[in-house]
């Protein structure tokens, strides 16, 4: 597995027809760090994720992951740079099984040659089994063995969240973007997520950037927090610093400080 | 009830995991192999035609059922296959080489269409493929120096490796071998990265892209594979028709292919085969109906298209997974006997997904 690198974002901005969704935001995420992005609804948190994933192209600014200039990569090459992600609204392949979903997670590491695949040559079989083994490691890690053969459309919301995390891990990322990993989960499940995030960070050595509303979870797992509102940066610092920041309190509570 | 214990990763790759499946498939293959000994030439030819339509169905299924791209002009590829093959044969090209060129040419045209279609969504793609179908039919009609125009084009005799296959059973075995090859290959495709990337594009382009699937290229590939398989079906169809006219490859034929995969069951290769069986039996049932019904109804023109449309509507409303869906339920009924309940397969609605990235 390759080593985590520094994600550095400089003066990132994007406009949608006059709406400044993200404006002049800069931050660094150090290797091995857990970095949380918080902010009220519509603050531009997910937009930042979509910019890093290259689903959107910024109107200004630069993004580098290690030496790699992310703006030079198309969206489907981002995963090759070692950046995996999950989505706020769970984007699994609904009519496929859990196993198939996870195997698509291995796509960036496999060769997809239609001719070889059509004939299912011995090399293809070997690679399938090899990647199947890697998938099984992730299944063990997240304890989703009981769902292996099930279709996504038959799974509960919580299980889908886990499967999506598993699929992102299957890409062997060094940087993981998690869009609200605990939204819609009950307290117990949120605790599980917190443990897993810890394991992902310490056992797998993956840098985590997450968008999250649950401040307890953020306080538990995040090393640093960035608060944004209306696409602008409010504060960056440790969870406590950000919590006590006047600007942040004003954005969340609307009080005149 | 049978439980499947998997002890090796190869168990996940295997096609036929259950004993029952193995027996059923073996039985069908044996019956198909033995068919020439049991059927008269007429029915054998019909069975061969059914197999050809099964191939065409798998072609369209790859595109529409597995990749989620609609094509209302797929008979064009059937036509391209049929005409290319016949023209090459009449120029003296040997059968196998002609077949290879036909499949490659069909795939190339498919990829060209796929290149434009990969930028379109939903209705626009439906309209574009429909227009393509009509365009190709017109080309067959007007380019008389090459295609014989509306006068038609005689298909040369079937000669493989210097062996004339004039008998019905010989042609039937050729169809059968190629059908089994296509079923096997297409099934392979969907247990390997290429096919999985198709499924990924169908269910969520967004996450497919974030997992490293080049979505546009996957769509172009899907069009290519689909056109290649349909083109092969076209070449085989030519030998069954023995005389090609443009009208055969018109909009109605495209609709028939669409009907096949909808009725058969979207998203499964078995569904395409079920669909082929269905459309092959339909005309027979229809001719029977015509005799029974009063002449004022039975002799009305357009009875067949009307029935086609009606059946599509009924299937979409009552059984969106078509015959394949019914088959799954029937299997589950016997596997879980006596625990099957009416609500075992009640459809769930989910409101989790958004398409806001589009």
Residue A250 has a pLDDT of: 83
Nearest CA in chain A to B182: A118
Confidence of residue A256 (pLDDT cuts 50, 70, 90): low
Which of B193, B205, B208, B356 to mutate: most A Cβ within 10 Å? B193
Question: How far apart are alpha carbons B51 and A240 in whole angstroms?
Answer: 70
Nearest CA in chain B to A86: B207
Q: Where are the alpha helices (DSSP H) in A148-229?
A: 157-170, 187-202, 215-221
How confident is the model over A18-67, as pLDDT tens digits?
888 999 999 999 999 999 999 888 888 999 999 999 999 999 999 999 98
The DSSP bridge pattern shows strands A232-237 and A224-229 to be: antiparallel
Residue B347 has a pLDDT of: 58
Please judge whether B212 and A128 are an interchain contact, meaning their C-beta atoms are less than 8 angstroms apart.
no
Residue A209 has a pLDDT of: 95
Number of A to B CB contacts under 8 A, please give it: 129
Q: Residue A250 to residues A119, A153, A211, A219: CA-CA distances in angstroms?
A: 63, 41, 20, 19
Q: Which residues of B touch A91 (CB under 8 A)?
A: 204, 206-207, 353
Report whether A101 contacts A148 (CB < 8 A). no
Residue A2 has a pLDDT of: 64
Residue A82 has a pLDDT of: 93
Q: Name the DSSP class of B61.
A: I
Question: How far apart are alpha carbons B174 and A47 in whole angstroms?
Answer: 56
Closest by Cβ to A89, choosing from B186, B197, B353 = B353
Please judge whether A104 and B200 are an interchain contact, meaning their C-beta atoms are less than 8 angstroms apart.
yes
How confident is the model over B248-307, as pLDDT tens digits?
999 989 989 998 999 998 889 999 999 999 988 888 887 787 788 777 776 777 777 788
Residue A126 forms contact with B (CB below 8 Å): no
Confidence of residue B358 (pLDDT cuts 50, 70, 90): very low
Please judge whether B192 and A112 are an interchain contact, meaning their C-beta atoms are less than 8 angstroms apart.
yes
Tell me the percentage of chain B whose pLDDT exceeds 90: 57
Reported ipTM: the value is 0.90
Nearest CA in chain B to A105: B211
Question: How far apart are alpha carbons A227 and A241 in whole angstroms?
Answer: 11
Residue B12 forms contact with A (CB below 8 Å): yes
Closest by Cβ to A118, choosing from B185, B200, B204 = B185
Sheet bearing A207-211, strands edge to edge: A83-85, A175-179, A207-211, A34-38, A224-229, A232-237
Mean pLDDT on B82-108: 95
Is the pLDDT score of B355 beyond 70?
Answer: no
CA distance A79 to chain B (A): 6
Residue B9 forms contact with A (CB below 8 Å): yes
Residue B2 has a pLDDT of: 65
Could you say which residues from 33 to 62 on chain A have a Cβ atom under 8 Å away from some Cβ of chain B? 50, 53, 55
Q: What is the mean pLDDT of chain B?
A: 88
Pick the closest to residue B114 from B216, B198, B233 (CA basis). Answer: B216
Residue A132 forms contact with B (CB below 8 Å): yes
How confident is the model over B103-113, as pLDDT tens digits?
999 999 999 99
Q: What is the mean pLDDT of chain A?
A: 90
The DSSP bridge pattern shows strands A19-29 and A7-16 to be: antiparallel
Residue with tokens 């004339």: B164
How confident is the model over A204-243, as pLDDT tens digits?
999 999 999 888 899 989 999 999 998 899 999 999 898 8
Residue A175 has a pLDDT of: 95
Pick the closest to residue B133 from B184, B50, B73, B90 (CA basis). Answer: B73
Mean pLDDT on A101-126: 92
Report whether A167 contacts A107 (CB < 8 A). no
Q: Which residues of B touch A103 (CB under 8 A)?
A: 193, 196
Please judge whether A91 and B206 are an interchain contact, meaning their C-beta atoms are less than 8 angstroms apart.
yes
Please judge whether A104 and B188 are an interchain contact, meaning their C-beta atoms are less than 8 angstroms apart.
no
Closest by Cβ to A111, choosing from B9, B191, B193 = B193
How confident is the model over B1-21, as pLDDT tens digits?
567 788 888 888 888 878 888
Residue B327 has a pLDDT of: 86
Is the pLDDT score of A11 beyond 60?
Answer: yes
CA distance A221 to chain B (A): 25
Q: Residue A240 to residues A216, A247, B3, B180: CA-CA distances in angstroms?
A: 11, 14, 53, 66
What does pTM read for this prediction?
Answer: 0.90
Please judge whether B188 and A119 are an interchain contact, meaning their C-beta atoms are less than 8 angstroms apart.
yes
Please judge whether A107 and B348 are an interchain contact, meaning their C-beta atoms are less than 8 angstroms apart.
no
Residue B1 has a pLDDT of: 56
Closest by Cβ to A76, choosing from B189, B214, B221 = B214
How confident is the model over B54-63, as pLDDT tens digits?
999 999 999 9
Is the pLDDT score of B351 beyond 50?
Answer: no
Residue B197 forms contact with A (CB below 8 Å): yes
Residue A95 forms contact with B (CB below 8 Å): yes
For domain A7-82+173-253, the CATH architecture is: 3-Layer(aba) Sandwich (3.40)
Please judge whether A79 and B212 are an interchain contact, meaning their C-beta atoms are less than 8 angstroms apart.
yes
Burial of B77-91, coded b for 16+ CB within 10 Å and e otherwise, reads bbbbbbbbbbbbbee
Annotated domain spans of chain B: 25-250
Residue A104 forms contact with B (CB below 8 Å): yes
Residue A58 has a pLDDT of: 94
Residue B354 has a pLDDT of: 46
Q: Residue B45 to residues A73, A116, B220: CA-CA distances in angstroms?
A: 54, 33, 34
CA distance A48 to chain B (A): 14
Residue A257 has a pLDDT of: 46
Least confident range from A51-65, B164-178, B318-332: namely B318-332
Question: How far apart are alpha carbons A70 and A48 in whole angstroms?
Answer: 13
Residue B211 forms contact with A (CB below 8 Å): yes
Could you say which residues from 262 to 291 on chain B have a Cβ atom under 8 Å away from some Cβ of chain A? 267
Tell me the percentage of chain A whose pLDDT exceeds 70: 98
Q: Which one has a higher pLDDT value, A137 or B158?
A: A137
Q: Which residues of A touch B213 (CB under 8 A)?
A: 76, 104, 107
Residue A100 forms contact with B (CB below 8 Å): yes
Closest by Cβ to B350, choosing from A76, A79, A153 = A153
Mean pLDDT on A145-160: 89
Start-end ranges of CATH 3.40.50.300 in chain A?
7-82+173-253
DSSP calls for A67-81: TEEGGGS-GGGGGGG
Mean pLDDT on B33-55: 92
Confidence of residue B346 (pLDDT cuts 50, 70, 90): low
């Amino acid at each position: 597995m390759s080593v985590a690198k520094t994600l550095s974002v400089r003066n990132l901005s994007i406009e949608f027809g006059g709406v400044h969704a993200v404006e002049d935001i800069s931050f660094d995420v150090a290797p091995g760090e857990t970095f949380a992005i918080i902010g009220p609804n519509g603050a531009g948190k997910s937009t930042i994720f979509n910019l890093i994933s290259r689903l959107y192209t910024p109107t200004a600014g630069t993004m580098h992951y290690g030496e790699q200039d992310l703006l030079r990569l198309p969206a489907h090459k981002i995963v090759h740079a070692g950046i995996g992600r999950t989505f706020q609204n769970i984007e699994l392949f609904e009519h496929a099984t859990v196993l198939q979903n996870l195997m698509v997670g291995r796509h960036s590491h496999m060769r997809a040659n239609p001719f070889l695949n059509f004939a299912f040559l011995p090399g293809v079989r070997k690679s399938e089994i090899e990647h199947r083994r890697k998938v099984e490691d992730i299944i063990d890690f997240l304890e989703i063995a009981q769902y292996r053969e099930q279709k996504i459309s038959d799974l509960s919301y919580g299980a889908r969240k886990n499967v999506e995390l598993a699929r992102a891990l299957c890409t062997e990322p060094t940087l993981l973007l998690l869009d609200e990993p605990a939204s819609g989960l009950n307290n117990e499940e949120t605790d599980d997520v917190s443990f897993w995030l810890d394991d992902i960070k310490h056992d797998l050595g993956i840098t985590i950037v997450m968008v999250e509303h649950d401040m307890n979870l953020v306080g538990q797992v995040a090393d640093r927090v960035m608060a944004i509102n209306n696409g602008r940066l409010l504060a960056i610092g440790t969870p406590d610093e950000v919590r006590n920041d006047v600007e942040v309190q004003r954005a969340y509570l609307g009080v005149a400080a | 009830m049978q439980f499947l214990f998997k002890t090796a990763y190869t168990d996940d790759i295997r096609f036929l995991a259950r004993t029952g499946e193995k027996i059923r498939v073996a039985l069908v293959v044996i019956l198909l192999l033995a068919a020439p000994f049991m059927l008269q030439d007429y029915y054998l030819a019909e069975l061969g035609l059914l197999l050809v339509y099964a191939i065409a169905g798998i072609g369209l299924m790859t595109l529409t059922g597995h990749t989620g791209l609609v094509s209302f002009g797929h008979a064009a590829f059937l036509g391209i296959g049929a005409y290319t093959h016949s023209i090459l044969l009449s120029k003296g090209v040997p059968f196998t080489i002609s077949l290879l060129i036909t499949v490659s040419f069909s795939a190339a045209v498919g990829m060209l269409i796929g290149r434009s279609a990969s930028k379109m969504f939903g209705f626009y793609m439906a309209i574009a493929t429909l227009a393509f179908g009509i365009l190709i039919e017109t080309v067959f009609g007007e380019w008389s120096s090459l295609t014989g125009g509306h006068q038609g084009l005689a298909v040369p005799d079937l000669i493989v490796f210097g062996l004339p296959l004039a008998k019905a059973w010989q042609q039937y075995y050729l169809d059968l071998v190629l059908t089994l090859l296509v079923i096997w290959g297409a099934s392979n495709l969907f247990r390997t990265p290429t096919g999985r990337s198709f499924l990924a594009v169908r269910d969520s382009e967004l996450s497919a892209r974030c997992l490293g699937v080049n979505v546009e290229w996957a769509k172009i590939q899907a069009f290519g594979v689909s056109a290649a398989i349909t083109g092969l079906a076209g070449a085989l169809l030519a030998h069954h028709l023995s005389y090609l006219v443009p009208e055969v490859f018109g909009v109605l034929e495209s609709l028939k292919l669409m009907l096949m995969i909808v009725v058969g069951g979207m998203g499964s290769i078995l569904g395409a085969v079920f669909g082929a069986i269905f459309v092959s039996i339909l005309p027979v049932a229809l001719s029977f109906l015509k005799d029974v019904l009063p002449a004022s109804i039975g002799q009305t023109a357009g009875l067949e298209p009307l029935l086609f449309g009606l059946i599509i509507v009924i299937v979409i409303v009552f059984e969106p997974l078509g015959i394949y869906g019914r088959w799954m339920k029937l299997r589950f009924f016997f596997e879980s006997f006596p625990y099957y309940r009416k609500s075992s397969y009640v459809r769930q609605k989910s409101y989790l997904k958004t398409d806001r990235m589009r």
